[in-house]
Amino acid sequence: MIHIPVLKKEVLEYLNPKPNENFIDCTVGEGGHAEVLLEKTGPGGKVLGIDLDPQQIEKCKLQLAQFSARAILINDSYVNLKEIVERKSFGPVNGILLDLGMSSAQLEGTQKGFSFKLDQGLDMRYNDEAGYFTAEKIINEWPENKLEEILREYGEEKFSKKIAKNITEQRKQGRIKTTFELIEIIKDATPSQYWRGKIHYATRTFQALRIAVNDELNNLEKVLPDAVSVLPSGGRLVAISFHSLEDRIVKNFFRQAASAKATASQVKILTKKPVIASPGEIKTNSRSRSAKLRAAIKI
């Protein structure tokens, strides 16, 4: 599946790239957003693109080859943003983009077990060298109460107790190794009306596992203040989130950084309400369905 960048027009509107300006794309992925930023910032502007998944960086290199030295691509976590910017002496920075979560290509084009549509091993790590543990380890080794907690908190799964209980029951028979085994266990633990719901009954469990494996919410909490501190006055920050937990973190951070009480890192919020995709975009790109964009400018 090809990844189509979400809210492309809106990203350009809020980052407002001009010739010779420099931007950081903290989740460069396949370079969809980076490409339009590079087009707008010629002839001398640069984009520093970061991605935790080495395969994404490889794809991005091909995608952005035409821009040669104007695209600087780094395989690392955006939690190391400040250190990367210093190491690369990158700047002045005019804007920073965060397009959270995973790409459509990762969902169905890898062997990582991100998708409940494919029967694969339960991995879910964006980067298998970064010291993260796999979803298989969580499913088979975490105590029932910890499992329940991540399903409830990261998945907002109303059947968290029943699913966690069934997982711990089933793993007594042998290690749970694949996405399809897990899906059967979820099905078995939930009522039949749930199987016919608007979203697939495994969606919330899979989301919870992916967030836990990659520590996504803590990473987001860490990067937001660092991003603001990297920006000079007038620099812009745009964050696109894909579920309510992420959006809440972005919203609360922006509010707090914009409040009179904030000492350092003051920002002005540019989006009173989150910007969402148009019906036309949702039709052509299902990933945009749950996207929420918030933007701020450093004072």
| 292 is a site residue for ligand SAH (CB under 6 A) | no
Evaluate whether 267 touches 299 at the Cβ level (below 8 Å). yes
User: Which residue is it, tokens 């409940």?
Assistant: 116
| 102 is a site residue for ligand SAH (CB under 6 A) | yes
| 126 is a site residue for ligand SAH (CB under 6 A) | yes
| 5 is a site residue for ligand SAH (CB under 6 A) | yes
* Nearer to ligand SAH among residue 130 and residue 269 (C-beta): 130
- The amino acid at 193: Q
Least CB distance to ligand SAH at residue 3 (A): 5
| 226 is a site residue for ligand SAH (CB under 6 A) | no
Least CB distance to ligand SAH at residue 112 (A): 10
| 120 is a site residue for ligand SAH (CB under 6 A) | no
| 29 is a site residue for ligand SAH (CB under 6 A) | yes
| 33 is a site residue for ligand SAH (CB under 6 A) | yes
User: Which residue is it, tokens 């080859």?
Assistant: 65
The phi and psi torsions of 41 (rounded to 5 degrees) equal -105, 10
Stretch that binds ligand SAH, among 49-57, 116-124, 137-145, 270-278 (CB under 6 A): 49-57
Sole binder of ligand SAH in the list 17, 31, 45, 235 (CB under 6 A): 31
Stretch that binds ligand SAH, among 44-52, 162-170, 180-188, 289-297 (CB under 6 A): 44-52
| 123 is a site residue for ligand SAH (CB under 6 A) | no
DSSP 68-122: GGGEEEEES-GGGHHHHHHHTT-----EEEEE-S--HHHHHHSSS---TTS--BS
Sole binder of ligand SAH in the list 17, 46, 48, 51 (CB under 6 A): 51
| 207 is a site residue for ligand SAH (CB under 6 A) | no
| 53 is a site residue for ligand SAH (CB under 6 A) | yes
Q: Which SS3 state, helix, strand or coil, does residue 23 take?
A: strand
Alpha helices for the chain (secondary structure H): 8-15, 32-40, 54-63, 81-87, 104-109, 135-141, 144-153, 160-170, 179-189, 192-195, 203-214, 216-230, 244-258, 279-284
* Nearer to ligand SAH among residue 32 and residue 235 (C-beta): 32
Footprint on residues 69-98 left by ligand SAH (CB under 6 A): 77-79
In angstroms, the CA 23 to CA 98 distance is 11
Q: Which SS3 state, helix, strand or coil, does residue 24 take?
A: strand
Give the DSSP H or E segment for 292: strand 292-298
**Helices 8-15, 32-40: crossing angle, 10 deg rounding:** 40
How many residues bind to ligand SAH according to rule CB under 6 A?
23
| 50 is a site residue for ligand SAH (CB under 6 A) | yes
| 288 is a site residue for ligand SAH (CB under 6 A) | no
In angstroms, the CA 203 to CA 109 distance is 18
| 17 is a site residue for ligand SAH (CB under 6 A) | no
| 32 is a site residue for ligand SAH (CB under 6 A) | yes
Instruction: Give the footprint of ligand SAH on this chain (CB under 6 A).
Output: 3, 5, 27, 29-33, 50-53, 56, 77-79, 99, 101-103, 126, 214, 219
